[in-house]
Structure 1
Amino acid sequence: MSTWPSEITAHGNAGKVDRRQGDQKEDHQARRSSFHGLCGFSDPFEFATSMRLVANFDFDVMLEAKAKDLALVLLRPDLLRYAPDVAGRFGIFPTEMGELADEETSAMEEDRP
């Protein structure tokens, strides 16, 4: 963190969630976060929940994901779809949905092998 700017910055990432063999009676054991790796993308629901919890604070957000820029390209329209209040906080508004959807489609096509 010594290399980060002095302003308040939120750094968040989501650990991978994987399915492991577990006791079927206790499903919470079958689904665990794997803290040894980053998730490829950001979960829009988790992100929105986190942003709502700190809505009264002013800070920058650094998004960290294996998919890098693609994670952000996919998160922005998802925020408009599922959490427009959070999207507005980041300057993303419904009038941009068409453009964001096109960018999302294009990015997904470019990401295919």
Structure 2
Amino acid sequence: MDLQSTKTNDALIITVNEARIDASAAIRFKDGMRALTDGGPAHVVLDLSKVTFVDSSGLGAIVASMKQLNPGQQLDLAELTPDVAKVFRLTRMDSVFVIHDSMDSLSRRAAG
């Protein structure tokens, strides 16, 4: 699973550089997220702008990544593509995660 991390002043941005988070990638996704977030900053943002498909295993892996964070850490999501956003709405996971429309809106929110 190709995950790229970037640290900003107040957050760790993790970009998923793959089109799918599905059953074949779920374990590698969780392992990669654990490695990148362990001991990291309190605010973690998962950039899903390149992800066009998430199945139930992928959704479970994203939820598991949130649950494996250390106490005091928070996982937000950003830049969901239309099909991925639909999965989050249909499963009501959009009420579990803070979802940012864009990385720009996230930056403005942090500055404001």
TM-score, normalised via structure 1 length: 0.35
Flag the structure with higher helix content. 1
Which structure dedicates a bigger proportion of its chain to strand?
Answer: 2
Q: Which has the larger radius of gyration?
A: 1
TM-score, length of structure 2 as denominator length: 0.35
